[in-house]
């Protein structure tokens, strides 16, 4: 059975209407803000992120593969450190994984996966670290 309900509302007079004026009530001197500049306050990272992997045994440790190598955090992203400088022959990372049975073993596949025209790197193979990215 279908029930139909009809509601009626009393007419709202102009006197009872709430003030809906959203214009600013105060003004400020915009010259006070002229010296302000935008700046990066973090997190600092190495370019376009193309891959990420976490350590199963440690929820605060992550590795980020980017166009500028591999970055590691041990404090859940508060700070990042590049761990690949001086070890890789190419910069762009396309894949990264951490062994679930041994968190010291990290595999990094080189080459950028997202196609970006002339900025795409083909990579040079797979790198392996057995000491959590120290080497």
> Model-level pTM?
0.62
Residues 133 and 124: their CA atoms lie apart, in Å, by 18
The answer to whether residue 60 is domain-embedded is yes
The answer to whether residue 135 is domain-embedded is no
Q: Three-state SS across the chain?
A: CCCCCCCCCCCCCHHHCCCCCCCCCCCCCHHHHCCCCCCCCCCCCCCCEEEEEEECCEEEEEEEEECCEEEEECCCCCCCEECCCCCCCCCCEEEEEECCCCCCCEEEEECCCCCCHHHCCCCCCEEEECCCCCC
The domain in which residue 118 lies consists of: 49-129
Per residue in 40-88, pLDDT (tens digit) is 665 555 457 789 999 999 999 999 998 788 999 999 998 999 999 999 8
- The strand pairing partners of 74, in sequence order, are none
The answer to whether residue 16 is domain-embedded is no
Q: Token digits for 78?
A: 């508060």
Q: Token digits for 120?
A: 């795409």
Per residue in 98-133, pLDDT (tens digit) is 999 999 999 999 987 666 665 666 788 999 999 999
Q: Which of these, 59, 46, 56, 74, lies nearest to 133 by C-alpha position?
A: 74
The answer to whether residue 28 is domain-embedded is no
The answer to whether residue 17 is domain-embedded is no
Residues 13 and 35: their CA atoms lie apart, in Å, by 49
Query: How many domains does the chain contain in total?
Result: 1
Residue 1 — pLDDT band, cuts 50, 70, 90? Answer: very low
Residue 2 — pLDDT band, cuts 50, 70, 90? Answer: very low
The answer to whether residue 111 is domain-embedded is yes
The answer to whether residue 12 is domain-embedded is no
The answer to whether residue 18 is domain-embedded is no
Q: Token digits for 81?
A: 């450190």
């Amino acid at each position: 059975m279908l029930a139909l309900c009809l509601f009626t509302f009393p007419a709202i007079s102009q006197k009872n209407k709430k003030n809906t004026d959203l214009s600013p009530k105060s003004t400020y001197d915009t010259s006070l803000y002229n010296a302000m500049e935008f700046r990066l306050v973090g997190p600092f990272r190495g370019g376009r992120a193309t891959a990420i992997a976490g350590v199963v045994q440690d929820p605060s440790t992550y590795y980020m593969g980017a166009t500028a190598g591999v970055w590691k955090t041990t404090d859940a992203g508060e700070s990042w450190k590049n761990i690949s400088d001086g070890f890789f022959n190419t910069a762009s990372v396309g894949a990264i994984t951490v062994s679930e049975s041994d968190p010291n073993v990290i595999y990094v596949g080189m080459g950028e996966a997202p196609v970006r025209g002339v900025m795409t790197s083909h990579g040079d193979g797979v790198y392996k670290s057995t000491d959590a990215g120290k080497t």
